[in-house]
């Protein structure tokens, strides 16, 4: 059971991302850094293989109490120190040697992101697949096109869905390509980083206060939420569609609310403000920032959860979307269908 | 122990606010709404006194599982339905009669805010008091004034502290005066609300999609964080001051980092983006919004926690701030001291 | 003719606010500060009456070139120095005596705000009046209530309009009550300010880096935009209403687009991000901020214009709104009508 | 002379971007769309070559009054209709055939962006070059490293500058690679676009309400501002550096303010809020959005100007930066210098 359960989790923390950014997940990522550091130092003959294996053996989150680490974070302003202290209490070996707490924190952050992106991208691509299926099934199903929220001229439902698909695909590609690197610069970022075996890129320079990676990630998550919100907004507004999962309200049983699309919007709309916070946090002083760095953790976690939850909801909505057309079969849909075909072929 | 423990809690969730916005706190607030509704309906002879007391008797969060309610929230897109269902499983009485789920949610939100503001304002006023003590003690202690981050002309440390005090006091007054009302409009907001006995204002109209209260609260929290950030930023930049709580880093024992001020900044800087989300959410459609409403909960919780944590950290910083002056006693500080006296008298 | 004409002015800069935040308006406000300063110093026998009158006589924006002042602003990072230089070129008297450039800039900002609020509040109250008229005319005109964008139960159009009215009234009251003070603290803010006769409050302390006033103003403008956006969104979504000003599109003459409500949304939606920038700018270092202060001017101008333009468009929309009802007269509208009456009586 | 002169232009609109987003520039871009459309239609034998040349011949912004077009924009909520009307008044040929106003607006937006990126990237790369020169010159010049705003351990000034360089280079590369496409989908986006010869990509689908391109651009501009702000912040905080352009204040001639870095911050800090607005605007309804689309223009213009101005100021700051070292030559700078070399080689 996730420890951070709230009464909103079913709506705002759907899917697999929340678990990947939990306190336990961060703790494990911090421990993974310490284990990888020890092994790299053993590889470079800085510490002994034995010491490295001793350290690695205790780098398991189940051995420690998240709440205790969290409370200990107050001492130096981040949890890395408390993790090192906890490790040193159980192992007599050179833990965290030569590293600074931000090395651990930044590497952990990148690991958390990498792991959170797995379920996030699965749901985002799942939503795109569902949109593709709708586009394919309804490539020439006529539906009223609406501009400025007024009825305009016919289009096809397939073309609407193809648009959702293209936007979701592009957003997923961007997220797939974000730059994720470990951090290992030492106290003032002057160390040439040892190679850490964590599935992350080796950075060109220590990047303690060079936060382009965080800013780019934030932007890509914001764009993903924008793509999700566009599709979800259409679902909430379209009289022609019906979510399989939607349900009647308790007080008004005749209603069939598009709960999935609405929840997707409730998640996705949190993104722009969180992106702004992360971009503002790029202004980091000298070799370690006093506050801007600390202001990244909560918004990044929240942004990952919101995006993942929104993607999961949209997938649910689109996978079960039923269409009831109103327009007659004599509508000319050729041009729209051609566009749909091209978009599907281009996938 | 707080259930939502994370490795960041010691830094980002300091003070008493986090507990007041926890899953359990929201659940209790939702239950408080149902109990107050039943009692008001008994008072108006809509249901029996006996039914009302039966309902009120089970409106205790300890009887229910937060995680289960949270999971159930997915069904209609908010947790109020799951709460009603849980109540109906244990009591045979007319729960939630005539109300809509947003009545419960909005009232609970206002209760949560009211309760969270108690520790928040305590710490904010505590920080202002600490600033006042510094202003009083150092009304004519000369210190170099700095403009555009360059040394300029002398001022007094007391005047700097008086400025912090005035800003914190004003921010606290604004927060103290935010408008908090219950909600009871029924399915489409056409009910004349019964009076609920919850320590909240009676609204002029049902305000399901009239979110001025939320926007004003967001603005007031944002301004409070701005006032906190100004003081904390000065502490981090001033070579003349030293936090009692700050400590040396593990790798560099000669350092004395202003951990409290830094953490205050790490919290406060999350505010502007969260305020933006809440202001954007004011655009709510018709009688109940599809998404904008749902996008309020997480940012509001986060904003309350960030503001409360920032206030708690700043109080810690200022209560233990030590000053080491550099300027000679021959500096003319009369004008600055006069300003300090006036600000202190005006409290 | 306004010098800052753009191809978007008709949509994004409607109403009287744009002129009040123009380059010329800022220049005049800067000159008004210098004139008021000279007169106050004459009143305090710091300079002669003759000098003061000489200075005041040349404090007329028509005598100077806005573009030249703007170019000169690069020298010290704000236009106040260029204004002082321009004045000293035409008058042989002690201009700007004892003041710092931020004294001039902050006072000018508050004057600009005060003047911009006149047309802004006129349009905002005009929109509220139009909503009140709709509420009164349609207190018991039945219309379908919609929740989560689905048809729910009937309400009255009057109650919808009364909700808009209440929100707009509250937003206008908040804006009317914002704290506007002059600034006169000298180089490091240690001066006890002389009284300036500019229709602005005397501040308790110099507030060069205490930006609560700016943050509160930003919040109030953001809330106003939220209230406007809610009403405008309803207008764009309601099939039952038609704007008198709306028009057919060139390519689709059968359409009648709610251009006024759409444009109001286009303006109002710019607010949340701008508010975030102004709140983030509250973190100002020491006695004069290096960058945060400078980051206020453009967003504040943009926020004032966006709010004023949104208010002007909403007024246009609501003053000409035509209603075509669909629901039968047998709908029970008593409860809704009672709420409308109460809201109107409470104005 | 730029028509939109304000008293802030020297500070907030430095460099060549402002001219590229002016009213006149937008007007020319709108005309360029109409000319390209006519030529494409002539190429496809939809209209005659003669008609196309007649249209193209009058597509020169100098022939029209920006203010008049701007005023006319109020009619349909965007200026494209007014441009078409102005063209039809001077040429008897099929202007804007089959296109919708958003085709013209979106294509013009992309042209404006493409043209604004030229001076923007020139200054951004110029700033990176200046950082590279500093990195090269000072690869092993020792300087105190500072963490959490406290003195920590030595680094080299070259490594600081190399960090700025890498971040600026990455930001410039991202901006260089943003996706810019024309728009030509017709009233409801069902047209297969003709190829327009404007130096823009052909889109896979009409993207009237698929705003990934705008969101990605916004993110890239936000990241660029973050990279600029980091470097500028360091300059304002470093006691060891002095801007050649900085100057003494009028009231305090002993000061030497880093005006360029401060102004860069004043510009760059506007970005996060503007990015948030553009990301929020991605939620666009159906085939043309009612408000979200309209909310893009002003923030995008402002974001381009802010980024360009920030880049220009930072370039000015770094090109004239003088270093006065404090640390002795016996500091070991080998590791830092190695990192610098690697970063420079990697350019």
**Minimum-distance CB partner of C279 among B222, B237, B286:** B222
Is position A342 annotated as part of the catalytic site? no
Percent of chain C at pLDDT exceeding 90: 91
User: For the stretch B241-280, what's the b/e string if a residue is b when 16 or more beta carbons lie within 10 angstroms of its beta carbon?
Assistant: bbbebbbebbbbeebebbbbbbbbbbbbbbbbbbbbbbbb
Condensed to tens digits (0 to 9), the pLDDT of residues A137-157 reads: 999 999 999 999 999 999 999
Measured CA to CA, the distance from residue B140 to residue B132 in angstroms comes to 14
Enter the tokens of residue A243. Answer: 């979510």
Query: Phi and psi at residue B16, in whole multiples of 5°?
Result: -90, 0
pLDDT at residue A331 in the model: 75
Which range of C174-188, D232-246, D330-344 scores highest in mean pLDDT? It is C174-188
- Active-site positions of C? 249, 288
**Residue B268: is its pLDDT beyond 70?**
yes
Burial of A323 (0-12, 13-18, 19+ CB in 10 A): middle
Mean pLDDT of B40-44: 98
- What average pLDDT score do residues B196-204 get? 97
> At B330, is the pLDDT very low, low, confident or very high (cuts 50, 70, 90)?
confident
Please report, in tens digits, the pLDDT of each residue of chain A (347 residues total).
344 579 999 999 999 999 999 999 999 999 999 999 999 999 999 999 999 999 999 999 999 999 999 999 999 999 999 999 999 999 999 999 999 999 999 999 999 999 999 999 999 999 999 999 999 999 999 999 999 999 999 999 999 999 999 999 999 999 999 999 999 999 999 998 799 999 999 999 999 999 999 999 999 999 999 999 999 999 999 999 999 875 656 567 678 899 999 999 999 999 999 999 999 999 999 999 999 999 999 999 999 999 999 999 999 999 999 999 877 767 778 899 999 999 999 99
* Helix, strand, coil percentages for chain B (3-state, nearest 5): 55, 5, 35
Q: Residue C10: which residues within 8 A CB-CB, separation 6 or more?
A: D70, D71, D72, D73, D74, D75, D79
Chain A residues with CB under 8 Å of B294 CB are: 11-12, 262-263, 265-267
Are D202 and D110 spatial neighbours (Cβ–Cβ below 8 Å)? no
Which chains does A contact via 3+ CB–CB distances below 8 A?
Answer: B, C, D
**A167: closest CA among B292, D112, D284?**
D284
pLDDT for the residue D3: 44
User: How much is the average pLDDT of C49-73?
Assistant: 97
Residue D295 is predicted with a pLDDT of 98
Q: How far apart are CA B292 and CA C324, in angstroms?
A: 28
Helix (H, G, I), strand (E, B) or coil at D308: helix
The model's confidence at residue D4, banded by pLDDT at 50, 70 and 90, is: low
Catalytic residue among D146, D233, D269, D288: D288
**Active-site annotation holder among A4, A146, A288, A295:** A288
- Compute how many other C-beta atoms are within 10 angstroms of the C-beta atom of residue B85: 16
How many other β-carbons are positioned within 10 Å of the β-carbon of residue B197? 12
Phi, psi angle pair for D147, to nearest 5°: -120, 140
Q: Is A148 on the interface with B (CB under 8 A)?
A: no
Mean pLDDT (whole number) for B319-337: 85
* D347 has catalytic annotation: no
Nearest CB to C152 within list B145, B188, B280: B188
Backbone angle region of B342, left / alpha / beta, with phi > 0 → left and psi within -120 to 50 → alpha = alpha
Exposure b/e, D293-322, CB count within 10 A at least 16 = b: bbbbbbbbbbbbbbbbbbbbbbbbbbbebe
pLDDT of residue C331: 75
**What distance separates the 2 farthest-apart alpha carbons in chain A?**
80
Which chain C positions have a beta carbon within 8 Å of B287's beta carbon?
Answer: 145-147, 152, 155
Q: Given this model, what pLDDT does residue A248 score?
A: 58
Residue C1's pLDDT band (boundaries 50, 70, 90)?
very low
**What band does D329 get if pLDDT is binned at 50, 70 and 90?**
low
The count of other CB atoms within 10 Å of the CB of residue C86 is: 22
Tokens of B1: 């122990």
Q: What is the pLDDT of residues D285-327, one digit of tens each?
A: 999 999 999 999 999 999 999 999 999 999 999 999 999 987 7
Distance from CA of B148 to the nearest CA of D (A): 7
Per CB-CB distance under 8 Å, the chain B contacts of A267 are 294-295
pLDDT value of residue D192: 84
Using a CB-CB cut-off of 8 Å, the residues of chain A touching B274 are 273, 277
Comparing alpha-carbon positions, the chain C residue that sits nearest to B163 is: C210
Average pLDDT over residues D268-292: 98
Region of B67 (left: φ > 0; alpha: ψ -120 to 50; beta: rest) is alpha
pLDDT tens per residue across span B201-255:
999 999 999 999 999 999 999 999 999 999 999 999 999 999 987 565 656 767 8
Size of interface A-C (CB pairs under 8 A): 46
A280 bridge partner residues: none
User: For position B329, what pLDDT does the model report?
Assistant: 67
Which helix H or strand E contains B165, and what residues bound it?
A: helix B157-176
What's the token pair of residue D210?
Answer: 């698929």
B314 — phi, psi (to 5°)? -65, -40
pLDDT value for D250? 59
Q: What are the residue ranges of helices labelled H in chain A?
A: 9-12, 17-20, 23-43, 49-57, 66-72, 80-90, 101-137, 157-176, 212-237, 259-268, 271-280, 297-319, 334-345
| CA angle (C6, C9, C12) in 5-degree steps | 125
pLDDT value at residue B254: 73
How close does chain D come to B175, measured CA to CA in Å?
A: 24
Give the list of residues 6+ apart from residue C222 with CB closer than 8 angstroms, or none.
B215, B219, B275, B279, C271, C272, C274, C275, C303
Instruction: Supply the pTM of this predicted model.
Output: 0.98
Residues 6+ apart with CB under 8 A from B76: A247, A249, A250, A257, A259, B101
Looking only at the bridges linking them, the beta strands covering B142-147 and B150-156 are: antiparallel
Q: Single out the residue of B317, A125, D309 nearest to residue C297, CA to CA.
A: D309
pLDDT on residue C42: 98
Sign for the CA dihedral angle at B239, B245, B248, B250 comes to negative
Q: What is the pLDDT of residue D255?
A: 80
Instruction: Read off the pLDDT of residues A273-285 as tens digits, 9 standing for 90 and up.
Output: 999 999 999 999 9
Mean pLDDT value across residues B115-130: 98
Name which of D147, D148, D235, D291 to mutate to probe chain B: the one with the most chain B Cβ atoms within 10 A of its Cβ.
D148
Q: In Å, how far are A189, B337, C215 from A281, measured between CA atoms? A: 19, 36, 19
Instruction: State pLDDT tens for residues B87-102.
Output: 999 999 999 999 999 9
Q: State the Cα–Cα distance between residues C59 and D15, nearest whole angstrom.
A: 30
Question: Which residue is associated with the tokens 């703790």?
Answer: A27
Longest dimension (CA), chain C: 80
Report how far residue C209's alpha carbon sits from residue B255's, in angstroms, rounded to the nearest whole number: 28
Which single residue is written with the structure tokens 């470097």?
D231
- Dist. CA D226–CA D221, nearest whole Å: 9
Q: Please, what is the average pLDDT of chain C?
A: 95
Give the C-alpha separation, A155 to D190, whole Å.
Answer: 6
Specify the pLDDT at position C278: 98
Predicted local distance difference test score (pLDDT) of residue D304: 98
Contact D219 A282 (CB under 8 A): no
B265, A294: Cβ pair inside 8 Å?
yes
Could you say which of B66, B263, B290 has the minimum Cβ distance to residue A7? B66
Tell me the residue length of chain B.
347
Rounded (10°) angle between helices C157-176 and C334-345: 20
State residue B251's pLDDT score: 64
Three-state helix/strand/coil letters over B207-236: CCCCCHHHHHHHHHHHHHHHHHHHHHHHHH
Q: Report how far residue C6's alpha carbon sits from residue B330's, in angstroms, rounded to the nearest whole number.
A: 57
Contact C211 B230 (CB under 8 A): yes
Q: How many CB atoms lie within 10 A of CB A173?
A: 13
User: Cβ B284–C212 below 8 Å, yes or no?
Assistant: no
Report whether pLDDT(C243) > 50. yes
Q: Which two tokens stand for residue B251?
A: 């790798």
Which segments of chain C does DSSP mark as H helices, in order? 9-12, 17-20, 23-43, 49-57, 66-72, 80-90, 101-137, 157-176, 212-237, 259-268, 271-280, 297-319, 334-345
* DSSP letter assigned to residue A241: E
Mean pLDDT of B177-184: 97
Once rounded to an integer, what is the mean pLDDT over residues B331-344? 91
Q: How much is the pLDDT for C340?
A: 97
* Residues A103/A107/A109/A113 CA torsion (nearest 10 deg): 170
> Could you say which of A2, A179, A244, A249 is catalytic?
A249
Average confidence score pLDDT of chain A: 95
B16 Cβ under 8 Å from any chain A Cβ: no
Contact status of A234 with chain B (Cβ, < 8 Å) = no
């Amino acid at each position: 059971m996730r420890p951070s359960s709230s009464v909103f989790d079913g709506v705002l923390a759907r899917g697999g991302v929340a678990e990947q950014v939990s306190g336990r997940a961060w703790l494990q990522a911090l421990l993974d850094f310490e284990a990888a550091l020890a092994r790299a130092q053993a590889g470079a003959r800085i510490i002994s293989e034995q010491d490295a294996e001793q350290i690695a053996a205790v780098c398991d989150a189940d051995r420690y109490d998240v709440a205790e680490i969290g409370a200990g974070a107050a001492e130096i302003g981040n949890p890395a120190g408390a993790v090192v202290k906890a490790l040193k209490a159980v192992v007599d070996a050179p833990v965290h040697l030569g590293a600074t707490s931000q090395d651990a924190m930044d590497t952990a952050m990148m690991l958390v992101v990498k792991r959170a992106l797995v379920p996030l991208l699965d749901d985002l691509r799942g939503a795109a697949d569902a949109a593709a299926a709708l586009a394919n099934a309804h490539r020439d199903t006529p539906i009223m096109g609406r501009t400025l929220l007024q009825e305009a001229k016919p289009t096809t439902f397939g073309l609407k869905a193809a648009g959702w698909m293209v936007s979701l695909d592009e957003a997923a590609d961007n997220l797939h390509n974000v730059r994720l690197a470990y951090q290992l610069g030492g106290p003032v970022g002057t160390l040439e980083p040892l190679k850490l075996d964590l599935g992350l890129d080796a950075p060109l320079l220590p990047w303690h206060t060079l936060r382009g990676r965080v800013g780019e990630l934030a932007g890509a998550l914001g764009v993903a939420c924008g793509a999700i919100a566009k599709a979800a907004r259409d679902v909430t507004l379209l009289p022609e569609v019906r979510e399989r999962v939607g349900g009647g309200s308790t007080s008004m049983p005749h209603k069939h609310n598009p709960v999935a699309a609405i929840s997707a919007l409730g998640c996705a709309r949190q993104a722009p403000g969180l992106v702004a916070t992360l971009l503002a946090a790029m202004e980091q002083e000298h070799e370690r920032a006093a506050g801007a760095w600390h202001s990244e953790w909560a918004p990044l976690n929240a942004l990952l959860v919101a995006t993942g939850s929104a993607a999961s909801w949209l997938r649910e909505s689109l996978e079960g979307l039923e269409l009831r057309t109103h327009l007659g079969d004599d509508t000319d849909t050729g041009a729209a269908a051609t566009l749909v075909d091209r978009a599907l072929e281009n996938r």
